[in-house]
Chains A and B, each alone.
Chain A
Amino acid sequence: MRIDGKGLIDRKTALNFRFDGRSYTGFQGDTLASALLANGVRMVGRSFKYHRPRGVMTAGSEEPSALVEVIERGQQTPNVRATVQELHEGLEARSQNRWPSLRYDLLAMNDLFAPFFGAGFYYKTFMWPRAFWERLYEPAIRRAAGLGSLSGKHDEGIYEKAFAFCDLLVIGSGPAGLMAALEAARAGADVILAEEDSRMGGRLLADTVEIDGRPGRDWAEGVLAELDAMPNVRLMTRTAVTGAYDHGTFGALERVGLHLAQPGERPRECFWRIAAKQAVLAAGALERPIAFADNDRPGVMMAGAVRAYLNRWGVASGKSVAIFTNNGDARKTADELTAAGIEVAAVIDSRPDAPALGDYRLYRGAQVTGTHGRRGLEWISVRDQNGERRVEADCLAVSGGWNPTLHLTCHMNSRPVWRPEIAAFVPVDGAVPGLHACGAAAGVFSTAGCLEDGLRAAGAALEAIGQKAPKIAAPKAEDGAYDISPLWVVPGERRAWLDFANDVTAKDVRLSAQENFRSVEHMKRYTTQGMAPDQGKNSNVGALAVLADATGRGIPETGTTTFRPPYVPVSIAAMGAGGRAAGFAPQRFTTSHEASVERGAPMIEAGLWYRPSYFPRMGETDWRRACNREVHNVRGRVGVCDVSTLGKIDIQGKDAARFLDFVYTNTFSTLQPGRVRYGLMLREDGHVMDDGTTACLAENHYLMTTTTAAAGLVMRHLEFVHQALRPSWDVRFISVTEQWAQFAVAGPRSRDLLNSVLDQKLDPAAWPFMACGAVSVSGVAGRLFRISFSGEHAYEIAVPARYGAALFRDLVARAETMGGGAYGMEALNVLRVEKGLLTHAEIHGRTTAFDVGLEKMMSKKKDFIGKAAAARPGLLGAGREQLVGLRPLDAEREIGAGAHLFRKSDPAKREFDQGYVTSACYSATLRSWLGLAFVVNGRARHGETIRLVDHMRKTEVLCEITDPVFFDPEGEKVRG
């Protein structure tokens, strides 16, 4: 029911929305909760475990009961708090956790069995028989319990993430936050003021407060106007700060498009990482319930929420409102309702000495002992010294006192302390370095106190960053004392709710204590209290008090409540924004990418790079035909392959040669300009890190190549070895991987092909195997290396990347006229397996130079990284698995990588394992399947027949152990 003339809603802009299929009207500025209340909808959902009818309890993000599903464009978002969802035209929401309808929920029978469903029920009942758990109990429980459901479709929504930086982050925009922001802004600091609500002002929007003789909300408008006009201030509404992390980093969730009927290109949410030099926590306080019989009935609300609906949204939460309190705050509620023309049925004040301050019925020293009504509250029972009575009311406004919103102060392991005079926990100083709690969040509950405290906190923050605070006098405001006499639970037989979201009652907590789960951490887990979407915001302190009582301890001795991030639920989609599909990882493309795609090559991932798998031609029915043709081309004529993805590191300095000697196992200081050498690099623990060639381009100038996979690793390693172990050496590195496009030109006709593109023909005498030098390609300065990863007479030609696309097309076109063409990764792999050349399938991190047969490359004349460890007894000798070749006895029997090897007579079991296959392919050249494998003492076993068992593919093949070099073992072709 709306109250004329009240609220901050725009009554000229009516909005149509639907809830559970029925149409309603609200106004611009409403939340779903305020609009439902205005339309007299009291029951909005069913509870998690007992399927009890539930209504709106609060007016903020802490709402435990009014959780709904929001439907938009085929998507459905569960567990949306109706108190946070802003109304927009066409909003469609649905109650959740009920079947078939909210009014007639069949699973409400859970409530009848409540005596069996108490805390620990699952643990005790479903333990036995074990097999029943998966098949029977769990599916049944899942159907009955739960909080909303998903659409089952992909979330097509747009999400965003962003970074922000500031001198001071102010969290919360009530009186304390506004004063803090104003002071810091006037001091010239970069300020971010973050407010989770759609509107700044905090409780000033919800309460009737005077500041400097003006309505509080007008005063706030003035401050906000000043802040908004300042270039050093950023005002962020709809932004909940969700976590405090190390070194001034805060997480925050901004609702960007969720309040709009037509969000357009706007993301639904944006997850912010805010780096703040200092922060002020002015997040206010949350009102807490009192546990009494059936205190979850729709119509039972928090008193502060009743005021918020009245003042901010012009909504009466009931026709006749009773108030139940243990503190002086309830007077405001009564006065404001009366002034708005709403009947105050009675004030039930648990304090025997409660002062009578208004024109309403007051029961002192009284308690609410029960609530009654079919689908919502109709009357309550009240007990005082004169006995029990019935009070008619359709809304009960409850105030059990206020808990400072100190959640962020707990995120870095600090625990709050108990302040008995306000019966609440307050944060300790320095809980989070650089975070200053103030106002209600620090336990200061008067408006005047909050204004003052905001100034104090901002002053401390400014001092910490060396800025001078301007002199600002705190405005005048109400400075009443907060008078509370704790009351947590009203004694009685019926169930009294503590945690509304997870259906945990005072009885459950007592049972936990009785069963010796007496520590607060145990109690939480035993009862599930505090583990629902509201994370115990409404129930932690109450549950702790009940536990303290049940165990005969005081609250501080029982423990403290702590909180972990996030403060409000954060969608995974927002935190992972941009990380879907192609956004999951950066994509690196070579200069030949377009030409490869045009030729129909399937592109496969190689780290972040994309490389062509093969280049299909007309009539080729599968990839293997294309691969075989490409291998034949290279062996018989000429092939072209983009090898730009290999890491290229330019190394210069007068100690460059010494440095290479130190990082490679073999010697490079003897390498002359114009020559290339193969090098092997170890990790310090003696295992192979990477291999590749290094060219001496000129004196003190080298170009190292790494494998595609290890390019980043090797760069990092070189920097480490230099800076940490040889800092005085004159040597510098830079990655030039992306600056040069590089193509392998391989095959007996490779020189002919190159001669057709080079400005000067190659002189065979000047270009022996492992030569390198400068060349000119149509006037472009390039580099040529006579190296081979195929075993053929081959070169790699490099040009600046901007010429890569043109050179690739030119080389491939020319190769095709010579009967060759481009080749992809599949052919490249076959070519290198035929030659027994290594990739990271073999140097996979557990193999040594000895294992791969390169122990002779470990120089005895010098120290190098990994030398000492590689000499350890366990890394050498016959017991090691050594690199061998494998040929199936039946050449056409397919073998695959990952298969294990066993002696013919042994069972194919782990304890008889003789080794494993690292690479396998079909060699069109040798008309046989080939494999590379590691076999125990393998080099001494060439010629032996071994049993290959592929447990995954369920195949078994007898193979001959061979030398790993299958093709041209003398290397005549490569040198030819």
Chain B
Amino acid sequence: MRITCPLCGERDRREFYYYGADDYLRRPGEGAAPEAWDSYLHLRDNPAGITRDLWHHEMGCSAWLVVERSTITHEIRSVKLVSDVQEGGK
């Protein structure tokens, strides 16, 4: 498996640390309901198809990345910097 880091280029997956679904990007605000925290911490989709998950270029530039890929074909659609995604979303 190879991931194209937006900063470093195409690299072997051994350089990256896998975290989990990109749900982790949507942290509930202070005082959010317990249900929101439950969902944030524990509830995940398990799609057959496109998924977005978080990878850390730990052996490279230390950027956190959102990798959009297919769980069926393993095709990687896009790789974005988490910081871009989050700042863009604000």
Interface residues of A (CB under 8 A from B): 163, 245-249, 273, 275, 412, 433, 684-685, 712, 715-716, 719-720, 723-725, 727-728, 863, 867-869, 872
Query: Per a CB cutoff under 8 Å, which of B40, B83, B90 touches A723?
Result: B83
Interface residues of B (CB under 8 A from A): 1-2, 10, 12, 17, 19, 24-25, 27-28, 30, 32, 34, 37, 40-41, 54, 56, 58, 62-64, 73-76, 81-83, 86-87, 90
B41 near A684: Cβ-Cβ < 8 Å: yes
A727 near B83: Cβ-Cβ < 8 Å: yes
Query: Per a CB cutoff under 8 Å, which of B12, B28, B56 touches A719?
Result: B56
Q: For B40, what are the chain A residues with a Cβ–Cβ distance below 8 Å?
A: 684
Q: For B28, what are the chain A residues with a Cβ–Cβ distance below 8 Å?
A: 868
Could you list 6 further interchain pairs (A-B, Cβ under 8 angstroms) beyond the known A247-B74, A716-B56, A723-B63?
A: A163-B12, A716-B58, A720-B24, A720-B54, A720-B56, A720-B82
B86 near A727: Cβ-Cβ < 8 Å: yes
Query: Per a CB cutoff under 8 Å, which of B2, B37, B58 touches A248?
Result: B2
Q: For B24, what are the chain A residues with a Cβ–Cβ distance below 8 Å?
A: 720, 724
Q: For A863, what are the chain B residues with a Cβ–Cβ distance below 8 Å?
A: 30
Known: A247-B76, A412-B74, A863-B30. A723 touches B2 (CB 8 A): no
How far apart are A602's CB and chain B's nearest CB, in angstroms? Answer: 32
A247 near B32: Cβ-Cβ < 8 Å: no
A728 near B1: Cβ-Cβ < 8 Å: no
How far apart are B27's CB and chain A's nearest CB, in angstroms? Answer: 6
Bound-state Cα–Cα, A869 to B63, Å: 27
Bound-state Cα–Cα, A273 to B1, Å: 11
B75 near A433: Cβ-Cβ < 8 Å: yes
Q: For A273, what are the chain B residues with a Cβ–Cβ distance below 8 Å?
A: 12
Bound-state Cα–Cα, A712 to B58, Å: 9
A720 near B86: Cβ-Cβ < 8 Å: no
B86 near A724: Cβ-Cβ < 8 Å: yes
Query: Per a CB cutoff under 8 Å, which of B2, B17, B37, B81 touches A275?
Result: B2
Q: For A163, what are the chain B residues with a Cβ–Cβ distance below 8 Å?
A: 12
Q: Closest chain A residue to B75 by CB distance?
A: A433
Q: For B56, what are the chain A residues with a Cβ–Cβ distance below 8 Å?
A: 716, 719-720
How far apart are A584's CB and chain B's nearest CB, in angstroms? Answer: 16
Known: A249-B1, A868-B32. A724 touches B37 (CB 8 A): no
Q: For B34, what are the chain A residues with a Cβ–Cβ distance below 8 Å?
A: 872
How far apart are A717's CB and chain B's nearest CB, in angstroms? Answer: 10
How far apart are A876's CB and chain B's nearest CB, in angstroms? Answer: 14
Q: For A275, what are the chain B residues with a Cβ–Cβ distance below 8 Å?
A: 2, 10, 12
B86 near A723: Cβ-Cβ < 8 Å: yes
B62 near A719: Cβ-Cβ < 8 Å: yes
B87 near A727: Cβ-Cβ < 8 Å: yes
Bound-state Cα–Cα, A872 to B33, Å: 11
Bound-state Cα–Cα, A412 to B70, Å: 13
A723 near B82: Cβ-Cβ < 8 Å: yes
Q: For A712, what are the chain B residues with a Cβ–Cβ distance below 8 Å?
A: 58
Please name 7 pairs of A and B residues whose Cβ atoms are closer than 8 Å in the assembled complex, sorted by A.
Answer: A163-B12, A275-B10, A720-B56, A720-B82, A725-B27, A728-B87, A872-B34
Bound-state Cα–Cα, A728 to B86, Å: 9
Bound-state Cα–Cα, A596 to B6, Å: 44
Q: Closest chain A residue to B76 by CB distance?
A: A247
Most buried by B among A273, A715, A723, A725: A723
Query: Per a CB cutoff under 8 Å, which of B32, B74, B75, B86 touches A725?
Result: B86
Bound-state Cα–Cα, A155 to B52, Å: 44
Bound-state Cα–Cα, A245 to B62, Å: 25
Q: For A246, what are the chain B residues with a Cβ–Cβ distance below 8 Å?
A: 1-2, 74
B17 near A716: Cβ-Cβ < 8 Å: yes
Known: A723-B63, A723-B83. A245 touches B1 (CB 8 A): yes
Q: For B62, what are the chain A residues with a Cβ–Cβ distance below 8 Å?
A: 715, 719
Q: For B74, what are the chain A residues with a Cβ–Cβ distance below 8 Å?
A: 246-247, 412
Bound-state Cα–Cα, A728 to B87, Å: 7
How far apart are B2's CB and chain A's nearest CB, in angstroms? Answer: 4
How far apart are B89's CB and chain A's nearest CB, in angstroms? Answer: 9
Q: For B41, what are the chain A residues with a Cβ–Cβ distance below 8 Å?
A: 684-685, 869
Q: Closest chain B residue to A716 by CB distance?
A: B56
Most buried by A among B1, B62, B73: B62
Q: Closest chain B residue to A712 by CB distance?
A: B58
Q: For B30, what are the chain A residues with a Cβ–Cβ distance below 8 Å?
A: 863, 867-868
Q: For B58, what are the chain A residues with a Cβ–Cβ distance below 8 Å?
A: 712, 716
Bound-state Cα–Cα, A294 to B3, Å: 53
How far apart are B87's CB and chain A's nearest CB, in angstroms? Answer: 5
Q: For B32, what are the chain A residues with a Cβ–Cβ distance below 8 Å?
A: 868
Bound-state Cα–Cα, A723 to B63, Å: 8
A728 near B2: Cβ-Cβ < 8 Å: no
How far apart are B60's CB and chain A's nearest CB, in angstroms? Answer: 12
Bound-state Cα–Cα, A723 to B55, Å: 12
A247 near B1: Cβ-Cβ < 8 Å: yes
How far apart are A916's CB and chain B's nearest CB, in angstroms? Answer: 26
How far apart are B48's CB and chain A's nearest CB, in angstroms? Answer: 13
Q: For A724, what are the chain B residues with a Cβ–Cβ distance below 8 Å?
A: 24-25, 54, 64, 82-83, 86
A720 near B90: Cβ-Cβ < 8 Å: no
How far apart are B59's CB and chain A's nearest CB, in angstroms? Answer: 11
Q: Closest chain A residue to B58 by CB distance?
A: A716
Bound-state Cα–Cα, A684 to B39, Å: 13
Bound-state Cα–Cα, A684 to B27, Å: 10
Q: For B2, what are the chain A residues with a Cβ–Cβ distance below 8 Å?
A: 246-249, 275
How far apart are A829's CB and chain B's nearest CB, in angstroms? Answer: 30
Bound-state Cα–Cα, A245 to B82, Å: 27
Q: Closest chain A residue to B90 by CB distance?
A: A728
Q: For B87, what are the chain A residues with a Cβ–Cβ distance below 8 Å?
A: 727-728
Bound-state Cα–Cα, A724 to B85, Å: 8
Q: For A867, what are the chain B residues with a Cβ–Cβ distance below 8 Å?
A: 30
A869 near B86: Cβ-Cβ < 8 Å: no
Q: For A719, what are the chain B residues with a Cβ–Cβ distance below 8 Å?
A: 56, 62, 64
Bound-state Cα–Cα, A869 to B36, Å: 11
Bound-state Cα–Cα, A249 to B74, Å: 13
How far apart are A510's CB and chain B's nearest CB, in angstroms? Answer: 36
Q: For B1, what are the chain A residues with a Cβ–Cβ distance below 8 Å?
A: 245-247, 249
Bound-state Cα–Cα, A728 to B81, Å: 13
Bound-state Cα–Cα, A725 to B89, Å: 11
Bound-state Cα–Cα, A724 to B86, Å: 6
Q: Closest chain B residue to A725 by CB distance?
A: B27
Q: For B64, what are the chain A residues with a Cβ–Cβ distance below 8 Å?
A: 719-720, 723-724
Q: For B73, what are the chain A residues with a Cβ–Cβ distance below 8 Å?
A: 412, 433
Most buried by B among A712, A720, A868, A869: A868
Bound-state Cα–Cα, A795 to B83, Å: 39
Q: Closest chain B residue to A872 by CB distance?
A: B34
Bound-state Cα–Cα, A316 to B74, Å: 50
Bound-state Cα–Cα, A725 to B27, Å: 8
Bound-state Cα–Cα, A868 to B38, Å: 10
Q: For B76, what are the chain A residues with a Cβ–Cβ distance below 8 Å?
A: 247
Q: For A715, what are the chain B residues with a Cβ–Cβ distance below 8 Å?
A: 62
Bound-state Cα–Cα, A281 to B81, Å: 35
Q: For A872, what are the chain B residues with a Cβ–Cβ distance below 8 Å?
A: 34
Bound-state Cα–Cα, A247 to B87, Å: 30
Q: Closest chain A residue to B32 by CB distance?
A: A868
Bound-state Cα–Cα, A725 to B87, Å: 9
How far apart are A688's CB and chain B's nearest CB, in angstroms? Answer: 16
